[in-house]
Amino acid sequence: MRIRFAAAAATIVLAACATDTPDAYGTFEATEVTVSAETSGRFLSVPVEEGSRIASGAIVAVVDTAPLVLQRAELGARRATVESRASEADAQWNVIEAQRVVAQREYERTARLVAAAAATSQQADRATRDLRTLEAQGEVVKATKATVSRDLGTVRAQIAVLEDRIERSVVVAPAPGTVLARYVEAGELAQPGLPIVRIAALDTLTFRAYVPESQLRQLKLGGDVTVQVDGTGGSLRRLPGKVRWISATAEFTPTPIQTREERVTQVYAVKIAVANQDGGLKIGMPGELILGGAVK
């Protein structure tokens, strides 16, 4: 009886080992985003900590905007001056245009009188001179209006740039995630492109594994697989995964996960989405891929 019991137990152990035999190896990764400063200045605050979860649009840093606000006020005064010049030019144009209309009528009336021998050539010359003078003055005012309009456009564009920089001085998270690293502290100087924090969504991690061509037929996009990782007390933890991506080209097994037998084998990279609601999975953690369906 003891022999039969031992044989049965051995059979069960071997079956369990066969079940846990991995088909491929890999590591967990996540899409990481480095949030950088977009303006220069001094960091007033960096209200996030490493390991904290933040929502999309959450403030990760605030850059001092006092110099920018002062520049905007200076440009605002310049804009008011240019707008005043524009109003004056418009007023001049209206006056000259009204005078030109009258001079045009006088010129046409005088021309008719001269044709009827009812006016002298001196009167005709005077009417022509008055009209041409007002036309020339109108051209000068028109050029002034064009110059003032360009100046006003330049000032408004400069103000818009400053307002955009002021808005960008409040740096926000582009997506929800967990802060993996914080690179700056309040009081340090900011420069455009300076990394502030690195974040990643950890609710679902990607398990990247490399599958031999002989096993590729067992995989399909959207298919269910099992990913196995180390658990507590030397146990193995089995998690359901879903195939999100399969490489279209083969490659040699990457050096970090090569086995002696696989060094001359070409494999295909695959990405498996694995839920990580409890946070037990970490970026860079090794794992094993088991084909043949999801965890029951």
CA distances from 234 to 167, 229, 231 (A): 52, 10, 6
pLDDT of the residue at 267: 86
The model's pTM is 0.68
Question: Is the distance from CB of 79 to CB of 159 less than 8 angstroms?
Answer: yes
| pLDDT tens for each residue of 233-283 | 778 899 999 999 999 888 776 655 555 455 546 889 999 999 998 889 999
| pLDDT tens for each residue of 173-193 | 999 999 999 999 999 999 999
86 SS3 class = helix
pLDDT of the residue at 261: 55
- The upper half-sphere exposure of residue 136, i.e. CA atoms within 13 Å in the direction of its Cβ, equals 6
- Residues (pLDDT < 70) of the chain are 1-20, 253-265, 292-296
